[in-house]
Structure 1
Amino acid sequence: MRILVTGATGFLGGAAARALARSGHAVTGTGRDPQQGAALEQAGMRFLRADLKDDPAPLLQNIDAVLHCAARSTLWGHWRDFYTDNVTVSAALARACALRGIRLVHISTPSVYNAASQTRNVPESLPIGPRFDSLYARSKFLAEQEVRFYVPGAAILRPRGIYGPGDTSILPRLARALRSGRLPRLTRHEVYTELTHVQNVVHAAKLALERPAAGVFNITDGVSVPIWATLDQLADVLKVPRPTRFVPAAVVEQAARLLELAYRLAPGAPEPPITASGVRLLTRPMTLDLTRARERLGYVPVIHPEAGLNAVLEGLK
C-alpha cells in the first residue's frame, strides 16, 4: 500500500512511518524538519518537506491511504493556532482524501473526554462537548467532526498519553518537574489512568489502515497505571526526592489559572510553568473502554506497560 504519513518528523509520525515501511508499505512522510526528513529517506522512505496549511492535493498523488499524525499537541497556546493547525488542516486533508477515494486514519485524543463526568471505562459513545477542559481538546473534537463529515469511512483513533522512545512530552516533562523540586503531592490518594506506548498506537494505526473499519476507537495499553506511584518510581530512577509536600489540587489549579491569565496578557509569553489542564492530568482518573478497538480492529496491545514504562524510565537516568 502507498501510504502518506503526516507529521513523520514527529514522535508518533516518525515511529509509524518506520513501522509501516518495515511492513513492506511504500511510505511517504511529510514534515518541516529537514534533518529528520533525511533520516527517513536513509531508512528507505520518501520525504516531502511540506506545510499542511497549504493545499494538500499535491501530497496525495499516487497515494492509497493517509495516516494523519500531524497536530498542534500542547496544553498551551492561542485558539487561532489550534484551530488552524488541527481543525482547518484536518478538514482540508479529509476533503482532499474524499475527492480521491483515499483511505484516511486520523489520530485524535481522549482529551475530548476530560470535561465529562464519567472517568472509568469510558466508551467512544460517551456524549462530549460543548464544554472542553483545554483549547487542544476542543480543537481535536472539531477536527474529528470535519473528518467524519468529509470521510464517513475514516478511522479515528484516540490514544491516551503516548509515551516511549523519542517522547519529548509526558515523561520528560514530569522528569523536569521532579528535578526542579517544585512538584507537590496534589492528592492523598492514588490516581489511576491509562497510557499508550507509541508502538501500541502504531500497531492500532496499522490495523486501521490494513483492515478498514469506520468510526472512533479508544487506544491504550489496556492496563491502569497509578500516577503517583509511577512518579515515585521516576523520582527514584532520577535519584531526586519523591514529592511529599502536600498541596490541595484545587489550590494549585486555581493558581495555575491565574498564572495562565497573566501569561496570556503578555504578548509572546512562553508556556507557563504550570497549567490548569496539566494539574488535572495528575489528579483526575481516566480509563478507557477498548471493546470497539478489540472487536472491529482486532487490536491487542503489543507492548505491556510494565515493560514499556521500565524501558523509558531507564532511558531517563
Structure 2
Amino acid sequence: MRILVTGATGFLGGAVARRLADAGHDVTGTGRDAGRGRALHAAGIRFMPAALADVAAWPALLDGTDAVVHSAARSTLWAPWADLQADNVDASVMIARLCAQRQLPLVHISSPSVYNASGRSVRVPEDTPVGPRFDTPYARSKYLAELGVQRAHPAATLLRPRGLYGPGDPALMPRIVRALSAGRLPRLTRTEVHTELTHVRNAAHAVHLAVERPVAGPVNITDGEPVPVWATIDRVARRIGAPAPQRFVPARMAEHAARLLELAAQVRPGAAEPVVTASGVRLLTRPMSLDLTRARTALGYAPVVSVAEGLDEVMADLAATHA
C-alpha cells in the first residue's frame, strides 16, 4: 500500500512511518523538520516537507495514496487556543474531508486526555461520556478534532494511545528528568499511584493493524499493564544521579499552586509553559487504566513490547544520556 503519514518527523509519526516501511508498504512522510526528514529518507521513507496550515498543498499530497495516518498535531498542554484550533481541529477535519472524498482509509491519532474529566479512572471504555468540560485546552482540541473527523469521515479509525514513551520521547520523560534534576518535584501522594502508558512501538503496531484492518471510531491503546508512577520516578532519579522526591506536598495544594502559575503565565503574552501545570499534577496523582477490549477484538491488538522491556529501554537510554 502507498501510505501517507503526517507528522512523520515527530516521535510517534516517525515510529509509525518506519514500522509501515519495514512491513513492505510504500511510505511517504510529511513534517517540518528537514533534519529528521533526511533521517526518514535514509530509512527508505519518502519525505515531503509540509505544514498543516498549508491547506492548498494537501490535495496533491494525497494523490496516488491508498491510506493516510494523521499523526501531526500540536501536542502540548500549554498553547494558545487559536493554535490548538488550527493545528489539532481544523487541520484534522480538512484531512478527513480530503480522505473521505477520495475514499481513503484514515487512521487519526487522538488522545485519551478526552477522558480526564469524565470521573472514571479504571478500565475506561471508548464509549465513556466525555465533555463538555475538559482538564486542558489540548484535551478539548482533541475531542473537537474527533467530532469533526467522524462527521467528515465516519469510517475513520481514531486511536487513543495513552502516555507515549520510549527512547527519544520528547515530552513525558524529559519533563520528569528536568523536574528531578532541578530538585523541584515533591512527592505528591503518600501511597503508590498506578497508571498505564504506551510504548511508542506498541502504538506504531496498533497503527499498522488499523491501516490493514480498519475499524470505525475510537480505539484505546496502552501497554495493557499498570505502571507504578512513584516507583518509576524513583528509578529515573537513580539513573540520572538525582535525589528522589522526599518532601511531601499534598496533591490538592500542588494543583492549586499550579493553577496560580498558569493564571500568571496567561496574562503574559508569549509566556513559556509553567514549570508545573495542574494537568501535570493530575497525571502523577490520579490512577488511570483503559479498557482494551475493542483493540484486542476489533484490531487484533496485542502489545509487542512489555512494560518491563519498555522501561528497561528508557532507563538504558537515560543512563547513556546522563553518563
TM-score (norm 2): 0.97
Of 203, 227, 241, which residue of structure 2 is paired with 1:239? 241
Q: Residue 20 of structure 2 aligns with which residue?
A: 20
Q: Cα deviation per residue 1:88-118 (whole Å; 9 max; x = unaligned)?
A: 0000000000111111000001100000111
Task: Provide the secondary structure at the position in 2 that maps to 1:316.
Answer: helix
How far is the alpha carbon of 1:84 from its aligned partner? 0.6
How far is the alpha carbon of 1:242 from its aligned partner? 1.0
How far is the alpha carbon of 1:59 from its aligned partner? 1.0
Task: Provide the secondary structure at the position in 1 that maps to 2:310.
Answer: helix
Q: Residue 276 of structure 1 aligns with which residue?
A: 278
Q: Residue 301 of structure 1 aligns with which residue?
A: 303
Give the partner amino acid of 2:80: H
How far is the alpha carbon of 1:176 from its aligned partner? 1.1
Give the partner amino acid of 2:231: A
Matches within 5 A, 1:34-113: 34-55=34-55, 56-113=58-115
Q: In 2, Cα distance between the equivalents of 1:33 and 1:311?
A: 25
Q: In 2, Cα distance between the equivalents of 1:92 and 1:133?
A: 26
Q: Residue 177 of structure 1 aligns with which residue?
A: 179
How far is the alpha carbon of 1:73 from its aligned partner? 0.6
Q: In 2, Cα distance between the equivalents of 1:138 and 1:118?
A: 17
Q: Residue 199 of structure 2 aligns with which residue?
A: 197
How far is the alpha carbon of 1:9 from its aligned partner? 0.5
Q: Cα deviation per residue 1:112-147 (whole Å; 9 max; x = unaligned)?
A: 000011100000010000000000000000000111
Q: In 2, Cα distance between the equivalents of 1:236 and 1:274?
A: 22
- 1:286 to 2:284 alignment: no
Q: In 2, Cα distance between the equivalents of 1:217 and 1:309?
A: 24
CA RMSD of aligned residues (A): 0.7
Q: In 2, Cα distance between the equivalents of 1:217 and 1:71?
A: 18
Matches within 5 A, 1:199-238: 199-238=201-240
Give the partner amino acid of 1:285: P
How far is the alpha carbon of 1:196 from its aligned partner? 0.3
Q: In 1, Cα distance between the equivalents of 2:80 and 2:93?
A: 19
Q: In 2, Cα distance between the equivalents of 1:259 and 1:173?
A: 17
Q: Residue 121 of structure 1 aligns with which residue?
A: 123
How far is the alpha carbon of 1:24 from its aligned partner? 0.6
Structure 1 unaligned regions, length at least 5: none
Give the partner amino acid of 2:61: L
Give the partner amino acid of 2:64: N
How far is the alpha carbon of 1:44 from its aligned partner? 1.3
Q: Residue 151 of structure 1 aligns with which residue?
A: 153
Q: Residue 8 of structure 1 aligns with which residue?
A: 8
* Residue range with higher mean Cα deviation, 38-47 or 136-145: 38-47
Give the partner amino acid of 2:241: K
Task: Provide the secondary structure at the position in 1 that maps to 2:280.
Answer: helix
Q: In 1, Cα distance between the equivalents of 2:214 and 2:77?
A: 31
Q: In 2, Cα distance between the equivalents of 1:124 and 1:150?
A: 20
Give the partner amino acid of 2:83: D
How far is the alpha carbon of 1:311 from its aligned partner? 1.1
Q: Residue 256 of structure 2 aligns with which residue?
A: 254
Between the two proteins, the alignment pairs up a number of residues equal to 317
Q: In 1, Cα distance between the equivalents of 2:193 and 2:137?
A: 24
Q: Cα deviation per residue 1:12-59 (whole Å; 9 max; x = unaligned)?
A: 001110111111100000000111111111211111101122222111
How far is the alpha carbon of 1:77 from its aligned partner? 1.1
Structure 2 unaligned regions, length at least 5: none
